[in-house]
DNA sequence: GAAATCTCACGTGC
DNA sequence: CGCACGTGAGATTT
């Protein structure tokens, strides 16, 4: 998961990644580097040479030797570039830029890298205007043009150039938090400077202009910190993590220069099924760009062998690896797409076809063997859903027996156990005794659906004037308490402020894990902030005292808001929008009223969610009126985008030490098997 | 000649 | 359905 975690400071000179980059063997020859020249396919758009003969060596533009097929090989290393760039003083950047001993050994170089070198602009301009002692790194042209104040945030120069898992996650979290906030403002039309039409672009652009991005150093092959199977919901997300630089175009390429010549080489593509691309498992037939196909008011023309098309052609000849991102229709949101990073492919064939009387380029991409499944898994899930093939190990198609509006599968494909111990499925909370009527509550007066930004809606006012969810039902931010509309509100059941009370939205599966009993995961991709389920069960009355306490202590299926939980940051940073920070820090939320729920005998899917020290789900108290009684609910939301079939986990927290009477609390602690790099070892 | 600036192509997401 | 948008490469200007 967190492999390669963070160089936050200057890495040692033996550092792997930078070496690769620095140790660029200039491409002296434009011919592919194959063991035998006789095996080089001729430069024609012809049939491929099929499976490569044994002894075929993958072509690595950066390398001298061949490492494992999935990894860029690493050679002996000169001092990393970083060492010269780690300080941001003009002197050091000049040293880097001017020292031709460094990159001057290259009579050719990757233009992309040079361009990606963030200090290039400032160091060169400093040469011209030495008075400019601005130590801020130079950013994009657009950023400079708009004279945006450069705010470096907590992304170091090193992380900006080359990412790792942690940095990629952090950048994506910050992107989505900002995006949700901008969507919220857009929904409420509270933006004075005109309406934001594209919150995704706005958020992405803002982050990138402030240097909150990673993997700016463009390269062929894997991108550090982005894993096969990772999912994205916006094209601009691919830009901020450096997986695919163009915000629109489907083909990303570098210009590879030689002393005599230069040519484009493809590094990544984004395939959208609607573009006429044929997709099946490990094969992808990709169409070239240009030609105005499928555009309403434009005449189709021949595609030209230039730009992306030329890059693909050259990549076909070179046999270099190309990252493939597959765009798939989002089941939860059919108007938009999910982008799945499907790993490295090579082009095996290239040809032209006729379409509407014009030429169109076609490329056959074949997936490199030995990579974890990603897109292929989506295909399987699709087949399960359509009933064409059944899920292996399926025990029950719906363990809720219709109690939820979406079936929940029960699956065991690891051993012979036929299901979890008996319990009664119930989708919500049960209070053992009736609630006091001391706090009568009143709903809003909205007639059909509460409108974001409506100052008259009392439910919105209870949320400090902010509608808690975006228009597509995603939670905007964590709060001590979210107020949803309830039965006393006259608004429709489909009011957007009823997200957590309207039941499951993703197809969940209770499955047998290899070492942690039963667990919960989803067939559908889940985007950050999506409601997953609530914690159902019987509310334990703490007033029962000792008896109740013992009851809770022997209960593995208990949820308790009063435990100690790791703090974490999920909300947007007000400073990015030049807003004042609110007083209550997200890290120190106080739970409004204690709530203990037992799901031992009665509960829903939430009782199967396991603990993790690096969870992908968090819980959030939600309140809505229920027959004039205040009922608190615990709703679970996705911390980040969760690819299908990824186990859903949350932080179980730990018991208060002062509650540890004798060794009982200690005994209750369980060895944690979450496997994350920051695992605390025990939980409970 | 090189750097700064402009223009164009590329679809997406609402 | 039509609008507005960011990026990188190449063209053009300074």
Confidence of residue A131 (pLDDT cuts 50, 70, 90): very low
The stretch A673-682 carries a mean pLDDT of 86
Which of A120-129, A136-145, A340-349, A667-676 is most confident? A340-349
Instruction: With respect to residue A226, please indicate whether it lies within any of the assigned structural domains.
Output: no
Distance of C1' in C14 from CA in A385, Å: 62
Instruction: With respect to residue A374, please indicate whether it lies within any of the assigned structural domains.
Output: no
Nucleotide with the nearest C1' to A294 CA? B11
pLDDT of residue A90: 30
The domain boundary, picked from A185, A213, A241, lies at A213
Instruction: With respect to residue A297, please indicate whether it lies within any of the assigned structural domains.
Output: no
Nucleotide with the nearest C1' to A206 CA? C6
Cβ atoms of A156 and A163 within 8 Å: the answer is no
- Asked if strand B contacts A529 at the CB level, meaning under 7 A, the answer is no
| Rounded Cα gap, residues A641 and A233, in angstroms | 8
pLDDT of residue A221: 95
Nucleotide with the nearest C1' to A304 CA? B9
pLDDT of residue A123: 32
pLDDT of residue A365: 94
Instruction: With respect to residue A349, please indicate whether it lies within any of the assigned structural domains.
Output: no
pLDDT of residue A577: 86
Distance of C1' in C3 from CA in A197, Å: 9
pLDDT in tens, A30-74: 232 222 333 333 332 322 333 333 333 322 222 222 333 333 333
**CATH code for the domain in which residue A637 is found:** 2.170.270.10
The domain boundary, picked from A147, A178, A213, lies at A213
pLDDT in tens, A622-634: 988 665 556 789 9
- Asked if strand B contacts A124 at the CB level, meaning under 7 A, the answer is yes
Distance of C1' in B8 from CA in A197, Å: 23
Distance of C1' in B6 from CA in A138, Å: 20
Confidence of residue A667 (pLDDT cuts 50, 70, 90): low
Confidence of residue A190 (pLDDT cuts 50, 70, 90): low
- Asked if strand B contacts A420 at the CB level, meaning under 7 A, the answer is no
Mean pLDDT is lowest, of A10-14, A264-268, A592-596, for: A10-14
CA angle A350, A353, A358 (to 5 degrees): 130
pLDDT of residue A675: 86
Q: For residues A291 and A178, which has the higher predicted lDDT (pLDDT)?
A: A178
Distance of C1' in B9 from CA in A384, Å: 40
Nucleotide with the nearest C1' to A335 CA? B13
CA angle A135, A124, A260 (to 5 degrees): 145
- pLDDT at residue A646 greater than cutoff 80: yes
Distance of C1' in B5 from CA in A140, Å: 13
Confidence of residue A366 (pLDDT cuts 50, 70, 90): very high
Instruction: With respect to residue A568, please indicate whether it lies within any of the assigned structural domains.
Output: yes
What is the domain range of residue A127?
1-25+61-213
Nucleotide with the nearest C1' to A263 CA? C9
For chain A, what percent of residues have pLDDT higher than 90?
44
The domain boundary, picked from A213, A248, A274, lies at A213
Distance of C1' in B9 from CA in A249, Å: 8
Residue for token digits 């991108």?
A223
Q: Is A159 left (phi over 0), alpha (psi -120 to 50) or beta?
A: alpha
CA distances A5 to A11, A168, A317, A576, Å, are 12, 10, 35, 26
Cβ atoms of A605 and A533 within 8 Å: the answer is yes
- Asked if strand B contacts A120 at the CB level, meaning under 7 A, the answer is no
pLDDT in tens, A377-390: 998 998 899 887 78
Q: Which residues touch strand C (CB under 7 A)?
A: A 111-112, 115, 140, 142, 197-198, 201-202, 204-205, 208-209, 236, 239, 245-249, 253-255, 264, 296, 307
| Rounded Cα gap, residues A258 and A27, in angstroms | 6
Mean pLDDT is lowest, of A140-154, A340-354, A606-620, for: A140-154
- Asked if strand B contacts A629 at the CB level, meaning under 7 A, the answer is no
- pLDDT at residue A516 greater than cutoff 80: yes
- Asked if strand B contacts A272 at the CB level, meaning under 7 A, the answer is yes
Distance of C1' in C5 from CA in A63, Å: 38
The stretch A272-299 carries a mean pLDDT of 75
Instruction: With respect to residue A308, please indicate whether it lies within any of the assigned structural domains.
Output: no
Mean pLDDT of chain A: 75
Confidence of residue A174 (pLDDT cuts 50, 70, 90): very high
| Rounded Cα gap, residues A288 and A310, in angstroms | 9
pLDDT of residue A153: 57
Cβ atoms of A175 and A243 within 8 Å: the answer is no
Instruction: With respect to residue A672, please indicate whether it lies within any of the assigned structural domains.
Output: no
| Rounded Cα gap, residues A239 and A162, in angstroms | 13
Contacts of A229 (CB under 8 A, 6+ apart): A340, A341, A342, A372, A373, A374, A377, A643
pLDDT in tens, A217-230: 889 999 999 999 99
Nucleotide with the nearest C1' to A233 CA? B13
- Chain B positions with an atom below 7 A of a protein C-beta are 3-6, 9-14
Q: For residues A142 and A613, which has the higher predicted lDDT (pLDDT)?
A: A613
| Rounded Cα gap, residues A150 and A142, in angstroms | 12
- pLDDT at residue A448 greater than cutoff 80: yes
pLDDT in tens, A109-121: 333 333 333 322 2
Distance of C1' in B8 from CA in A291, Å: 15
In A 332-351, which Cβ lie closer than 7 Å to strand B?
A: 333, 335-337
The stretch A353-359 carries a mean pLDDT of 83
pLDDT of residue A157: 85
Cβ atoms of A203 and A179 within 8 Å: the answer is yes
Cα-Cα-Cα-Cα dihedral sign, residues A142, A145, A149, A152? positive
Q: Report the protein residue whose CA lies nearest the C1' of nucleotide C2.
A: A296
Least Cα distance to A172 among A641, A654, A659 occurs for A641
- Chain C positions with an atom below 7 A of a protein C-beta are 2-10
- The helix/strand/coil state of A386 is helix
pLDDT of residue A550: 58
Split into its structural domains, chain A has a count of 2
pLDDT in tens, A424-438: 999 999 876 655 555
- Asked if strand B contacts A198 at the CB level, meaning under 7 A, the answer is yes
Distance of C1' in C7 from CA in A239, Å: 9
| Rounded Cα gap, residues A461 and A156, in angstroms | 40
Nucleotide with the nearest C1' to A262 CA? C9
pLDDT of residue A278: 60
pLDDT of residue A468: 95
Distance of C1' in B4 from CA in A142, Å: 13
pLDDT of residue A28: 27
Instruction: With respect to residue A540, please indicate whether it lies within any of the assigned structural domains.
Output: yes
Q: Report the protein residue whose CA lies nearest the C1' of nucleotide C1.
A: A296
């Amino acid at each position: 998961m967190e492999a390669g975690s963070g160089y936050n400071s200057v890495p040692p000179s033996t550092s792997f990644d930078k070496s690769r980059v620095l140790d660029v063997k200039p491409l002296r020859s434009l011919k592919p580097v194959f063991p035998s020249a006789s095996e080089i396919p001729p430069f024609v758009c012809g049939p491929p040479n099929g499976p490569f003969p044994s002894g075929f060596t993958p072509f690595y533009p950066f390398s001298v030797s061949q490492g494992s097929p999935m990894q860029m090989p690493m050679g002996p290393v000169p001092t990393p570039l970083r060492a010269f760039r780690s300080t941001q003083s003009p002197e050091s950047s000049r040293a880097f830029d001017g020292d031709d001993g460094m990159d001057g050994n290259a009579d050719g170089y990757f233009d992309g890298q040079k361009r990606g070198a963030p200090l290039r602009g400032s160091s060169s301009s400093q040469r011209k205007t030495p008075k400019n002692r601005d130590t801020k790194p130079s950013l994009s042209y657009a950023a400079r043009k708009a004279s945006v104040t450069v705010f470096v945030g907590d992304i170091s120069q090193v992380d900006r150039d080359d990412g790792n898992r942690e940095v990629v996650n952090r950048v994506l979290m910050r992107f989505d938090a900002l995006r949700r906030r901008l969507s919220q403002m857009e929904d409420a039309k509270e933006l004075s400077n005109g309406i934001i039409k594209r919150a995704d672009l706005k958020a992405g652009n803002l982050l990138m202009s402030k240097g909150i991005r990673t993997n700016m150093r463009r390269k062929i092959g894997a991108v550090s910190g982005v894993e096969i199977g990772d999912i994205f919901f916006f094209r601009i997300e691919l830009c901020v993590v450096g997986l695919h630089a163009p915000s629109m175009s489907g083909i990303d390429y570098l210009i590879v220069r030689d002393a005599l010549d230069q040519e484009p080489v493809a590094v990544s593509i984004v395939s959208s099924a609607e573009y006429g691309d044929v997709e099946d498992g490990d094969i992808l037939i990709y169409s070239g760009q240009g030609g105005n196909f499928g555009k309403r008011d434009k005449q189709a023309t021949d595609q030209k062998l230039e730009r992306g098309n030329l890059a693909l052609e050259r990549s076909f000849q070179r046999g270099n690896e190309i990252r493939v991102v597959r765009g798939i229709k989002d089941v939860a949101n059919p108007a938009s797409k999910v982008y799945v990073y499907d790993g490295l492919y090579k082009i095996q064939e290239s040809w032209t076809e006729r379409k509407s009387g014009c030429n169109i380029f076609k490329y056959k991409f074949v997936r490199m063997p030995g990579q974890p499944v990603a897109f292929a898994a989506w295909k399987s899930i699709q087949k399960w859903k359509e009933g064409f093939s059944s899920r292996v190990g399926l025990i029950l198609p719906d363990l809720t027996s219709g109690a939820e509006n979406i079936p929940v599968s029960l699956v065991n494909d690891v051993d012979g156990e036929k299901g979890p111990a008996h319990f009664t499925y119930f989708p919500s909370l049960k209070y053992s005794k009736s609630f006091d009527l001391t706090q009568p509550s009143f709903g809003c007066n909205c007639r059909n659906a509460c409108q974001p930004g409506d100052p008259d809606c009392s439910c919105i006012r209870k949320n400090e004037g902010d509608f808690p969810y975006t228009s597509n039902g995603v939670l905007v931010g964590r709060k001590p308490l979210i107020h949803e509309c309830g039965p006393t509100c006259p608004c429709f059941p489909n009011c957007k402020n009823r997200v957590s009370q309207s039941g499951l939205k993703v197809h969940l599966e209770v499955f047998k894990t290899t070492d942690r009993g039963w667990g919960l995961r989803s067939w559908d991709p889940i985007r950050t902030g999506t409601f997953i389920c609530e914690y159902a069960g019987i509310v334990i009355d703490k007033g029962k005292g000792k008896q109740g306490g013992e009851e809770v202590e022997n209960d593995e299926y208990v949820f308790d808001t009063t435990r100690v939980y790791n703090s974490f940051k999920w909300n947007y940073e007000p400073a990015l929008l030049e807003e004042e920070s609110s007083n209550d820090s997200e890290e120190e939320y106080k739970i409004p009223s204690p709530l203990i729920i037992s799901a031992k005998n009665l509960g829903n899917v939430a009782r199967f969610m396991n603990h993790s020290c690096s969870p992908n789900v968090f819980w959030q108290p939600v309140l809505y009126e229920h027959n004039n009684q205040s009922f608190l609910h615990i709703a679970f939301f996705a911390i980040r985008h969760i690819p299908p079939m990824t186990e859903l986990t949350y932080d179980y927290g730990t018991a208060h030490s002062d509650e540890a009477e004798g060794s009982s609390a200690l005994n209750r602690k369980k060895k944690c098997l979450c496997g994350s790099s920051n695992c605390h070892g025990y939980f409970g």
